[in-house]
Amino acid sequence: MARAATLPRLTWQSATLTQVRRESSTASTLRLDVAGWPGHRAGQHVDVRLTAADGYTAVRPYSLASAAGSGLVEITVATTPGGEVSTYLVNDAVAGNHVEVRGPLGSWFVWDVSDPDPVQLVAGGSGVVPLMSMLRTHGSAGHPAPMRLLYSVSDPEQVLYADEVEQLAHAATVLHTRHSPPGTARPPGRVTPAEVEEHTLPATSRPSVFVCGPTGFVEAMLTVLTGLGHDPERIRAERYGERSSP
Ligand SMILES: Cc1cc2nc3c(=O)[nH]c(=O)nc-3n(C[C@H](O)[C@H](O)[C@H](O)COP(=O)(O)OP(=O)(O)OC[C@H]3O[C@@H](n4cnc5c(N)ncnc54)[C@H](O)[C@@H]3O)c2cc1C
């Protein structure tokens, strides 16, 4: 009987965890060794499948954090309270464990070094993960166009890739929703339209815009960005779930 053609990246592959790094009290970066990994584009994700001893399986998508062209397959997972897969990957997974992955997946929420335009990234919580892949790809290529990050996160302890974000200096703005760092003038709170305007590239510079985070955050940012005159055709968004804005 004829079998349906299968794209290699849609086939489940065995992967070995080779490194687990703590990013915060609730998030870890996991490096995976995937035989025959074809490489990925910044912004893509993989599906991760876990299988229990009784055969029960759970599949969740996770964005790739590593730079395109690096050859590294790294995901960063933040725990969802009570979450089945995220709490296992963050709290229990150790180097040497095996999981299954398929991917890289996604062809729309991606940034390539061939894009000559300025880029504005807008992250809510763990939505910073695919945007960090873009920043790393941009940095390692020495791309001449500006790439800026506006990052909304609950408190300073939850900032992912804190050292790298700090090194971005003028290219990154971190705003806290629940607790601000000591000594900062801004009280904690959701990002306001005025702050988006202040800390992002102007619509007149026609940047490519990528927004990623919980659904409520993404919807709020899309409303603000289009209100500031950004062309909806130049805005790409990825929604992680139903949690309210970080
Ligand atoms: C394209 C894509 C890329 C993603 N990339 C990442 C990533 O890089 N890092 C990362 O940490 N997560 C990422 N996610 C989210 C991830 O896929 C899971 O949804 C998340 O880890 C929760 O899975 P879980 O099994 O732990 O929770 P579940 O057991 O599925 O859910 C537990 C409870 O939490 C609720 N819930 C589920 N998901 C969420 C959520 N996202 N927000 C709020 N409540 C939720 C459920 O309704 C349920 O009540 C991505 C999602 C998508 C669609």
Cα 133 → chain centroid: 7
Within a domain: 110: no
Question: What's the total number of domains in the chain?
Answer: 2
Atom of ligand 1 nearest to the CA of 129: 8
Report the amino acid identity of residue 159. Answer: V
Residues 144 and 193 in one domain: yes
- Supply the pTM of this predicted model: 0.94
Residue 223 falls inside a structural domain: yes
**Residue 169: its pLDDT value, please?**
80
Q: Can you tell me which residue has the tokens 């992250």?
A: 123
Classify the phi-psi angles of 5: left when phi > 0, otherwise alpha if psi is within -120 to 50, otherwise beta.
Answer: beta
Last residue of some domain: 105, 136, 170? 105
Look-up: residue for tokens 């102007």?
202
If one residue of 23, 86, 89 were mutated to test the ligand 1 pocket, choosing by the most ligand atoms within 8 A of its CB, it would be 86
* Ligand 1: centre distance to CA 204 (Å): 35
Q: Whose CA is nearest to atom 31 of ligand 1?
A: 83
**Of the residues 105, 127, 151, which one is the last residue of a structural domain?**
105
pLDDT per residue as tens digits for the range 22-45: 999 999 999 999 998 999 999 999
pLDDT exceeds 90 at position 6 = no
CATH number of the domain within which 93 lies: 2.40.30.10
Q: What pLDDT, on the 0 to 100 scale, is given for residue 1? A: 47
Q: Is 238 helix (H, G, I), strand (E, B) or coil?
A: strand
Structure tokens at 90: 């963050």
Indicate if 230 and 130 belong to the same structural domain. Answer: yes
* Spatial distance between the Cα atoms of 194 and 207, rounded to a whole number of angstroms: 18
148-207 per-position pLDDT tens digit = 999 999 999 999 999 999 999 889 999 999 999 988 889 999 999 999 999 999 999 999
Which range of residues forms the domain containing residue 20?
8-105
Best CA proximity match to 70, nearest among 109, 101, 108, 31: 31
- Distance, C-alpha 28 to centroid of its chain: 13
Residue 187 sits in a domain of what CATH number?
Answer: 3.40.50.80
Atom in ligand 1 nearest the alpha carbon of residue 77: 11
Residue nearest to atom 7 of ligand 1 (CA): 62
Across the chain, what does the average pLDDT equal?
94
Same structural domain, 235 and 130 = yes
Residue of 30, 57, 62, 153 best suited for mutating to test ligand 1, as the one with most atoms within 8 Å of CB? 62
Does residue 100 sit in the same domain as residue 152? no
131 and 229: one domain?
yes
